[in-house]
Structure 1
Amino acid sequence: MHNLMEHIRGGISRSIEQAIRTLVIAGELPGDVVGVLSDAPAPLEVPKDPKHGEFASPIAMAIAKRAGKPPREVASFIVRELMASGERTYVEAAEIAGPGFINFRLSRQWVSDSVALILSGGAKYGHCDFGRGERVMVEFVSANPVGPLNVVNARAAAVGDTLVRLLKAAGYDAASEFYVNDAGRQVEMLAESVYARYMELIGREYPFPEDGYRGEYVRDIAAVATEDPGIAARLLTMNADEARGFFREYALRHILDWQKRSLAQYEVHFDRWFSERELRATGAVEMMISEMEEAGHTYREEGALWFRSSEFGDDKDRVLVKSDGLYTYVAPDLAYHKDKLSRGFAKLIDILGPDHHGYEGRMQAGLKSFGYPDGTLEVLLLQLVTLMREGQPVKMSKRAGEFITMDDLLDEVPKDAARYFFIMRNTSSHLDFDLDLARAQSMDNPVWYIQYAHARCCSIFRQAEAAGISGGAWAQADLTLLAEPGELDLVRKMAAFPDEVLSAAIERAPSRIAKYGLDVASVFHSFYNECRVISDDTALTVARLALVDAAKTVIANALNIMGIAAPERM
């Protein structure tokens, strides 16, 4: 059992349903109230105030009208039957509250079993097999290989990597991929720009392209080439076209290596870097277009080949091949998505920047035309990032052709803080990134606050060892001794972790784990301040050490899903 709370929830829900059916048979409730239960299980909610118990059900209010009785009277019937014959393993009491809610308080057995489940689960606690057997491809970052990664790329990397970790924790067979757009005019312009800077550095005249890349990094790449005498010798044997071809490969290699180093520093690693140029070389784009033509999904107009995408849900038709014979980006991108699915992935998730509105409709239309079902592709659009320093926006451009890079950010902000700040807001929300707060080593910094909770757990264990309490002493702890409000609040929050992981995976919402990590750290710090862990009461000390060990496990697991370190000392 990976999720005790879900097990208890299901047991209570079934007991409520059985109680209502028993009351109907006894003639205390009319038969038509059973119809309320036909569509869904008896509803259970988690009260906002823990004083109201662990669960609450509005079922009495839902069936009161059919029963022809006041909700509180209906609730009293249900509570009486529950206490007489319902599942009582974990339920200590059922109480009527407000207009007719039934509040459930759980027994100390629930506390004991929850902590034991966390300790036995270890690094896998919170994981489940919900997505078992379903292969999911998450494509993210996929920055053009014509320059360094920027701040929006950094957000995409944090969100994408965390989402992959979430999906794996929920049992999915998830993989990550970076699509390298290494074909097309932008790459040719990069080659032209580097070649022009190279010629300039060796004292030769060569016009810099009007739309060229003017960043200092272009000059840096060219400067490295001037230091290699072998390159100079090779270029002597080449004409201008051959030289540009050489610099295309040379610049691409340098920039891709740079992007990979930046991502490695961020602890983001891809299962595959997929080249658009290699895709084109296989003939996949031509074969896809032929397939669409044969199916009657295309037409020609003014020399261009159009895809009838409006017939498959897009807002208008799209050009696949322009009148000059060149592909629009739609053609190779569709071929790429088709290739992903041909590799056995059942679900595709693309994480894209804010300039990709409308992209999903085009890709969805293409996949529908190939016979793939609705929902095969999901697109998450990330909104823009504003860096803030001393409460003021930071200019993202440093000078002509230059911008703040991911490397610049990581030079100023620790990797763990950067990852947390980028995922702490919903992907559809604009993000104000507070550089001062991200650098702060204080309880005001949310990631520092969470990490400090983990380090505090480790410190408690060192204190226990110094007091002569061995690491395995709490294996036989009497966990029913955990009854203080701070202890129960911590158990409740930790028991919710499996639900949070699954919900975050299903909703594609890494921000849920960021919030959960902050919440569980807050509850732990409150427990620490309210309850002395190591005391003269040996039995209680051992029970609380078991609780601290469970908290350490949950906090570490949440941090791991976010790709953030769980330090033992701070």
Structure 2
Amino acid sequence: MTALADLHAAVRSAASAVADGAEGAAPDKASLERPKQADHGDFATNAAMVLTKALKRPPRDIAADLAQRLQDDLGDHVERVDIAGPGFLNVVLADAWFTAALAGVLAAGDGFGAGGADPVRDVNVEFVSANPTGPLHVGHTRNAAYGDALARILELRGHRVSREYYVNDYGTQVVKFGESVQARARGEEVPQDGYQGDYVAEIAAEIPGAADADPSELALAAVELMRSRAEASLRRFGVEMDTWFSERSLHEPAGDARVEAAFARLEEQGRTFRQDGALWLRTTEFGDDKDRVLERSTGEHTYFASDVAYYLDKLDRGFDLLIDVWGADHHGYMGRIHAVVDAFGGRREDFELLIMQFVQLRNGDDLTAMSKRRGTLVTLDDLVDAIGVDAARWYLLARSHDTQVELDLAAAREQSRENPVYYVQYAHARIASVLRDQGEERVAAALAAVGTLDGVALHASERDLVKAVLDFPAVVAEAEERRAPHRIATYATELAQQFSAFYRDCSVKNAEPEELRSFRIALCVAAKATLARSLGLLGVSAPQEM
């Protein structure tokens, strides 16, 4: 447990003791929060308020008992406990609590903020999954940044995570792509509804004999080249997929074995019916707005048929939780996919569909629109070339996934405190510089002494930086629960701001006595590690110098 968790436990323990088993008392509901005003103490609790009804006593009287109990239990780690307003308690902690808290952070090492998942689950996160008929564009890039950051957060919490990309390498769009590549190889215009971008000609030039190749074989070769390019682009962006799942594999060997197996299982369960020669799935039984066709009267499988087989395969692989990250244009598919998972016996709480919102790029007054078929798009690689991996990932993650992002390329390139990713990275580099100035031996000595510094008198900025560092585990837990990597970006900015205040107010080099200097060195080590871990969860680098 962290120092904050211990403090919260002490508050609940005091509330339980004061409640003394009273019927209806709920001491576990006692909160512990950071007051908005600094003069209201380090932490505040509503413990007296939650006991008022059960104890049938004035809340200020209960607060007085709680204050005494907390002072007795916390001993020299608490300076005082004040009663405020109708019965809130403001806890002012002693410097000894802060030094002990810092020692706990450093003792935890890489384990600080890690673990806590209950239960630990095998999680499949499917994201990006763009059609392999064109380069990954900036919308896919946001999806990649989000899915990978979410996976990193889940892993830090202790879950076992598999990253998956579903390759749509089967169907009409693949045929049209192959036809477009062949047309370019022959120096002809692409067919109507074909693919227009320059990348089509590039693919045609990379495939020997494309002009005269068998259309089906050419289409597969072209799609595999695009998939390979997507993999390289994602790797450049810091994303490594564990599984590249081929839609075509669901329809091979000949006879659509895996698709037919999915149909057979649904038929056994009475989930399908025939009408006008077509095979339908009763998705309305699971809340969809209408039933869906699996197989047309001609015997041709619909795109939905692949989805059915794919989700059966996912469920059969034994994951405890499936998380799919989809683009904004897929919102209308949610009902039918939830119905598929329900039909195969999956639980709603074990399957999540997260919808990303759109990205607009702005460079001055120019807003960039995208169309894969027309070839007018900004690719992942274009974005990385323009602003770098770090800025791209930060700006695409800094807002909640369900809100639209407008990314200003000029602002993202700016090297000033107005650019948040630069500001946070600069704070990390500055801490690294401070520690280099102290030398490895002095830093090691400070870390060895941190548990014995009880008598050190601390500045308010030191106390605030310790509290900011201590927030990290709770922020990670919240980011996991809310599926909200943007909370990590917000936290990293706030931590950098707290370090800047510390750097302004508290000299490390000239600190006296030596015990205070040791504390400040140790605090720099903890702040640096926590900033680096936060940036790492976002897939952003933590530079040692800038």
- Give the shorter-chain TM-score range: over 0.9
Give the drift of 1:289. Answer: 0.8
The alpha carbon displacement at 1:441 in A equals 1.4
Deviation at 1:132, TM superposition (A): 5.2
Structure 2 distance, partners of 1:67, 1:132, is: 35
Distance apart, 1:313 and its partner CA: 2.1
Deviation at 1:412, TM superposition (A): 0.4
Alpha-carbon distance in structure 2 between the residues aligned to 1:123 and 1:83: 32
Query: Any idea what the Cα deviations from partners look like across 1:144-171, whole Å, max 9, x if unmatched?
Result: 0000000110000000000000000001
Matched residue SS, 2:214: helix
C-alpha spacing 1:65/1:345, structure 2 compared with 1 (3 Å): closer
1:318-340 Cα distance to aligned partner (Å, 9 max, x none): 12112232222222112212212
Matched-pair contact (CA < 8 Å) for 1:305–1:319:
yes
2:525 aligned partner: 549
Contact residue 398 and residue 404 of structure 1 kept, 8 A: no
Match of 1:94 in 2: 81
1:445 pairs, out of 396, 408, 419, with: 419
Q: Kindly indicate whether the alpha-carbon contact (under 8 Å) linking 2:19 and 2:55 is maintained by their aligned counterparts in 1.
A: no
Paired position in structure 1 for 2:267: 293
| Corresponding residue to 1:120 among 100, 103, 107 | 107
Q: Distance in 1 between matches of 2:270 and 2:374?
A: 48
Say whether residues 1:281 and 2:257 are aligned partners: no
Is 1:142 aligned with 2:113?
no
1:136/1:349 contact within 8 Å kept: yes
Match of 2:276 in 1: 302
Distance of aligned partners of 1:210 and 1:391 in 2 relative to their CA distance in 1, 3 Å threshold? closer
Matched with 1:58 is 46
| Alignment match, 2:25 | 36
Q: CA deviation at 1:443?
A: 1.3
Amino acid aligned to 1:475: A
- Aligned pair count? 540
1:239 aligns to what? Answer: none
Give runs of aligned pairs for residues 25-424 of structure 1, distance below 5 A. 31=22, 34-37=23-26, 40-65=28-53, 67-84=55-72, 86=73, 88=75, 90-131=77-118, 133-200=120-187, 208-225=190-207, 228=208, 231=209, 243-281=214-252, 283-390=257-364, 392-396=366-370, 400-424=374-398
Gaps of 5+ in 1: 25-30, 201-205, 237-241
Aligned residues of 1:177 and 1:273 also touching (Cα < 8 A): yes
Q: Contact 2:14/2:66 (CA < 8 Å) preserved in 1?
A: no
Structure-1 separation of matches of 2:480 and 2:184: 47
CA distance in 2 between partners of 1:88 and 1:340 (Å) = 54
Q: Distance in 2 between matches of 1:370 and 1:395?
A: 39
Matched, 1:491 2:471: no
Shift of residue 531, structure 1, vs aligned partner: 0.7
516, 523, 535: which is aligned to 1:540?
Answer: 516
Alpha-carbon contact 1:136-1:348 (below 8 Å) kept = yes
Q: Which amino acid in structure 2 is aligned with residue 469 of structure 1?
A: R
1:544 to partner: Cα distance: 0.5
Q: Distance in 2 between matches of 1:300 and 1:142?
A: 31
Q: Which of residues 422, 431, 436 is equivalent to 1:457?
A: 431
Paired position in structure 2 for 1:469: 442
Counterpart secondary structure, 2:105: helix
Aligned position for 1:203: none
Indicate which of 490, 505, 519 corresponds to 1:515: 490
Query: By how many angstroms is 1:197 displaced?
Result: 1.1
Alignment CA distance shift 1:6-1:470 (3 Å): closer
1:327-381 deviations in Å (ceiling 9; x for gaps) = 2222211221221221221100000000111322212211111222221210110
- Judging changes above 3 Å, is the alpha-carbon distance between structure 1 residues 359 and 397 closer, same or farther for their aligned structure 2 residues? closer
CA distance in 1, matches of 2:374, 2:469: 50
CA positional deviation for 1:61:
2.8
SS at match of 1:535: coil
1:197 and 1:472, CA in 2 relative to 1: closer, same or farther beyond 3 A?
same
Query: What per-residue deviation string (whole Å, max 9, x for no partner) do you get for residues 457-495 of structure 1?
Result: 1100121129x8354443214544252110000000100
Counterpart residue type for residue 104 of structure 2: L
Equivalent-residue separation in structure 2 for 1:363 and 1:400 (angstroms) = 29
Work out whether residues 50 and 489 of structure 1, in 8 Å CA contact, stay in contact via their aligned partners in 2: no
Unmatched 5+ residue regions in structure 2? none
Identify the match of residue 564 of structure 1 among 534, 540, 546: 540
> Partners in 2 of 1:81 and 1:490 — Cα distance?
28
Alignment of 1:418-433 (within 5 A): 418-433=392-407
Give the superposition deviation at 1:54: 3.4
RMSD: 2.2
| Matched letter for residue 219 of structure 2 | R
In structure 2, give the amino acid aligned to 1:208.
V
Distance 1:109-1:320 versus aligned 2 partners, 3 A rule? farther
Answer yes or no: is the 8 Å Cα contact 2:428–2:542 preserved in 1.
yes
